[in-house]
Every structure is written in C-alpha cells, then in structure tokens.
C-alpha cells in the first residue's frame, strides 16, 4: 500500500497487516517519516492532550538470575558490583519521590528472588499508604502466585516487555527462559487486573522490519496499557558485544506507529531513547510519559543495563521541577491531579 494511505488508515484506527507495516518501517523517505510523526502527534494530542505523565523509577537491586544476551546485568557478568537495597532504603527512596511530586513509583530490579513475595508485598502496601500514588512493578518473571499476592497488596501496574517477537531469536537471547513463558506472564498479569506494560527493543541484531512490525502488532494482541520502546544499546560485557546500537530515528518511527495503533496507551520516552538525546523528539511523535530515576545516587551507576545512563546527583524535587520547566518550554505540562 502507498505509505501515506497506510498512515491515514492507521490514524483511523485500522490495524495494518504485518507485511505492509514492515514496508512502512523500512521506508527511508523523509516525507513519509514526517507524515508519520505528524499523525502520531495529532493522535497523542487528541487522546492525551499536552500533559505528560511523569514516573519515578527505583532500581532497587541489580542482582539477576537471567542471562539476557544484550543486558549488562546478566548473571555471568562478574565485573558488575552487585547491590541490593534494604526495605527501609526502598521505602525512603519512594517517600522522597512522592514528596517531590511523583505520582507513580516504579520498582524495578533484576530477577532477584531473594526478595520474597511477602517482602515485596509489604513494600507495595507501605508505598500505597504514602498517599495518592500508583505502584508499578518491574521484577521480571515470577510465580503467578507472587503476581496475585502483590495485586492484593495494592500494586497497580506491571511492566514486562516481550523484548523481541521472533520466538527463535527470543529463545536464543534468553537462554534461562523462553518466549512462551514471557507471554504467559503477560497474559496472567492482564487476567489479574494489572495495567500491563509491554514493549521491546529496536535494532536488536537479527531484527528485520517484518519482526519489528510483529513487535508492534503483538502489543495490541496482548492488550497492553503501556509500551516501552527503546533502541538496543550495545554493552561490551554481553554476548552481543560489538553489535551496532539501534537507530534512534527508526525507534521514533516505531513509537509513532505504536501511538497510531494503540491510541489510548501510555508510551514513555524510554530511558534508552533519552540517553540517545531523543527525549524531545519522542514527545513530538507519540510519547506521553517520562520515566526519571529516583534510585539513590550511590547505586545509579551500578544499574548498568547499557552504557550511557545518566546519573546526575540532584535532589528529586529539583529534578522534578526542572523537568517541569523543560516541558513547559515544549508547550507541555506535567499531568498532576487527584487521580494517580
């Protein structure tokens, strides 16, 4: 199909075929890119207005049992200094974020099973008591009973990306688990009533435009409420060392398509996009969410998933207010009201 027609159809909420979408993603015509970004920006504005949702992420442990081929925190990387924050440290960091104005706290870690179901549950309920705050968990694959228990403790959302939708490549890059497990976790989380956050990387070695198109369509199939899409960034202590980073412009086009096919979804400008200088652009092509670190300063550099992650030592309140003025300069505001 002619690319401009396809963009128009998607804007009218028609789901594209994978082959057609792949062709659009491979199209290098700048006019096509511009049309895509403009359509995504319109849809973002219609469905979400100019307010940007701001989330605080606390990366509370970098211990991980997994062996993801792209991730610097994989279990066999003995060069990383591992840390595990105590329950008190996590609650203090969460309180700081809430006091600074953040209305969502994301708790993220490697797959670190030394935090028991009960410990995580206590942390979730304590944060929920801090006020009008949503709690998002991003703890990877766990027994379904853990997911159910945390929901009963008040957890609102769960982030677990499918990373890449090609089953063979997924299984090669995740030797500790497999693609079907990942999808079962997503299905279960949805069934339990979590707002499900999915997502994937762009530019992973082996990922063709057709796979990328299917990555996008899978988000829809899994009924995600949020989708984090970021470029693959090469880390030298991983199995995928020496592969080139994902392309930021391609990532932005993929975010734009996600906006068209999932108009209601929350789409963050992911940390990986921001590291590559794409924050402002992402907000202009569909993104309506920003995630900022609220991890205590002494741990930030140790959460070394990929290189280049920023670790400025400024108080959270200042970080929040400086984001507010950055956004205001772009004609955007921070979403703040009674409803977290």
**Binding interface with ligand 5AD (CB under 6 A):** 70-71, 161, 163, 201, 230, 232-233, 235, 272, 305-306
Tell the smallest beta-carbon distance from residue 234 to ligand 5AD (Å). Answer: 7
Nearer to ligand 5AD, 109 or 128 (CB): 109
Tell the smallest beta-carbon distance from residue 150 to ligand 5AD (Å). Answer: 18
Tell the smallest beta-carbon distance from residue 300 to ligand 5AD (Å). Answer: 14
Nearer to ligand 5AD, 35 or 137 (CB): 137
Tell the smallest beta-carbon distance from residue 182 to ligand 5AD (Å). Answer: 11
Tell the smallest beta-carbon distance from residue 305 to ligand 5AD (Å). Answer: 4
Nearer to ligand 5AD, 301 or 328 (CB): 301
Tell the smallest beta-carbon distance from residue 225 to ligand 5AD (Å). Answer: 16
Nearer to ligand 5AD, 65 or 324 (CB): 65
Burial class (CB in 10 A: 0-12, 13-18, 19+), 36: buried
Nearer to ligand 5AD, 121 or 199 (CB): 199
Nearer to ligand 5AD, 42 or 65 (CB): 65
């Amino acid at each position: 199909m002619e690319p401009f027609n396809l963009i128009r159809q998607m804007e009218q909420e028609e789901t594209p075929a994978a082959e057609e979408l792949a062709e659009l993603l491979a199209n290098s015509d700048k006019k096509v890119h511009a049309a895509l970004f403009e359509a995504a920006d319109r849809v973002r504005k219609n469905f979400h207005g100019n307010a940007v949702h701001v989330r605080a992420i606390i990366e509370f442990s970098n211990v991980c049992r997994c062996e993801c081929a792209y991730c610097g925190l994989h279990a066999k990387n003995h060069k990383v200094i591992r840390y595990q924050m105590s329950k008190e440290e996590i609650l203090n960091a969460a309180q700081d974020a809430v006091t600074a104005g953040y209305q969502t706290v994301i708790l993220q870690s490697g797959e670190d099973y030394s935090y028991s179901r009960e410990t995580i549950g206590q942390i979730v309920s304590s944060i929920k008591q801090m006020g009008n705050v949503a709690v998002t968990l991003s703890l990877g694959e766990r027994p379904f009973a853990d997911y159910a228990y945390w929901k009963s403790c008040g957890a609102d959302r769960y982030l677990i990306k499918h990373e890449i939708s090609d089953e063979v490549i997924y299984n090669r890059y995740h030797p500790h688990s497999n693609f079907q497990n990942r999808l079962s976790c997503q299905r279960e989380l949805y069934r339990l009533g979590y707002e499900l956050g999915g997502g994937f990387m762009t530019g992973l070695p082996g990922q063709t435009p057709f796979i990328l198109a299917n990555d996008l369509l899978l988000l829809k199939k899994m009924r995600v409420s949020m989708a984090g899409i970021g470029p693959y960034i090469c880390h030298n202590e991983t199995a995928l060392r020496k592969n080139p980073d994902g392309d930021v412009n391609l990532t932005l086009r993929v975010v734009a398509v996600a906006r068209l096919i999932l108009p209601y979804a929350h789409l963050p400008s992911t940390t990986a996009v921001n590291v590559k200088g794409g924050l402002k652009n992402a907000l202009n092509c569909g993104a309506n969410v920003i995630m900022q670190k609220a991890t205590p300063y002494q741990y930030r550099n140790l959460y070394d998933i990929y290189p280049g992650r920023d670790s400025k030592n400024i108080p959270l309140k200042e970080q929040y207010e400086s984001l507010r003025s950055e956004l205001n300069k772009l004609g955007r505001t921070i979403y703040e009201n009674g409803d977290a």
